[in-house]
Amino acid sequence: MLVHICCSVDSHYFLQRMQEDYPDETLIGFFYDPNIHPYSEYKLRLLDVEYSCKKLGIELIEGPYALEEWLKLVKGLEHEPEKGDRCTVCFDNRLETSVKKAIELGHDKFTTTLLISPKKSQDKLEIIGKNLSTLYNCEFIFKDYRSGNGVEMQGKEVKAHNLYRQNYCGCMFGLNAQRDQQNKLTDELIYPIGQQIQPESIEERLVLYKKRNELEDCNIIKQRFLNYRLLSAKVIIEKAVVPSYFLFYSTLKGKKSIGRVEKVVDNIGYFNRDELKIVSLNTFNKLANTTYKTVTELIYNPLEFEKEIEVRNKITYNSTFDFSTIIVLESIPEVKVSVFSDFKTYDDVREVMI
């Protein structure tokens, strides 16, 4: 039997129950989810499904990541709510591709782990599955493992195996609508030009769950913290934009400051307003034990997040609550400087391994 898999949160308990209910069937997992965006999120969910299937002894096949074809299918339905027509088209696409794969592999049955997802319509999935069953002469297995204490048992399995608990369906349109409703930053679609792995980013979670796969005997817990994203920033000196690097947690009242360095202490330039600090590239190199030749090089090849925080702590004398703007320039300017930055700080939850 071919089992279409959407994610390990929905699949792990579902697959366990299928193994119990169909002991004579060889289950083959099929990860076909071109709706998942961005690609790093797709890779993270695939990684997690691989981990889950390995634990259950189930072979897994990865389908094509056909994002462009999927976008064409849902064109015009971008603003549909979750469980609306866009989801129906998405189900049609994924289940039809799955039944075709089942037939290709010589199977006479197929199903989907979408059936156990609390946010998916079982009625729609059953109708689509039965229509495809008739069309392709391949039996669709409908199982309602949500009823009773299914959702509770599913949650226990997720926690027991440290599975990745994503907080959106995977679709970029559903994500945007959800974050707008929550009044939260759509952080999943933001990636720094320097490719620094930032806290509570998809890339950080990829690193975390790859480590989980290697260690097996570990626990993943959540911690609340203040997150930060720099959306845009620039420094203007004598009417020209100059290369500048803003350290993580650089916040600025009003998002604009114009002034000059009024004093230099321990090679750190202190602005005459807004608690702003400027350090030269040479000083940054000494503090970070690096050899950057230009600020532009630093912008495109920044330090790892933890190391950058260490440098920030040195500049602020280990002041945990200092969120003033710290800027790295080629040298400390002696003339008027204009600083602009657009950033967001927000309460967030981060997964860590213990």
Two tokens, residue 254: 């009003």
What fold, for 2-182? Answer: Rossmann fold (3.40.50)
List pLDDT tens digits, range 26-85. 999 999 999 999 999 999 999 999 999 999 999 999 999 999 999 999 999 999 988 899
Alpha helices for the chain (secondary structure H): 8-21, 39-56, 67-73, 85-104, 122-136, 150-160, 172-182, 202-215, 281-288, 295-300, 305-315
Query: In which band, very low, low, confident or very high, does the pLDDT at 118 lie, cut at 50, 70 and 90?
Result: confident
Task: Give the pLDDT of residue 82.
Answer: 83
| Alpha carbon distance 290, 302 (integer Å) | 10
| Alpha carbon distance 75, 80 (integer Å) | 11
Two tokens, residue 41: 């999120």
Task: Give the pLDDT of residue 181.
Answer: 87
Full-model pTM: 0.91
The domain ranges of the chain are 2-182, 226-349
List pLDDT tens digits, range 200-242. 999 999 999 999 999 978 999 999 999 999 999 999 999 999 9
- Phi, psi (5° rounding) for residue 199? -60, 140
Q: Judge whether 150 and 116 are in contact, CB under 8 Å.
A: yes
Residue 339 pLDDT greater than 80, yes or no? yes
Percent of the chain with pLDDT over 70: 100
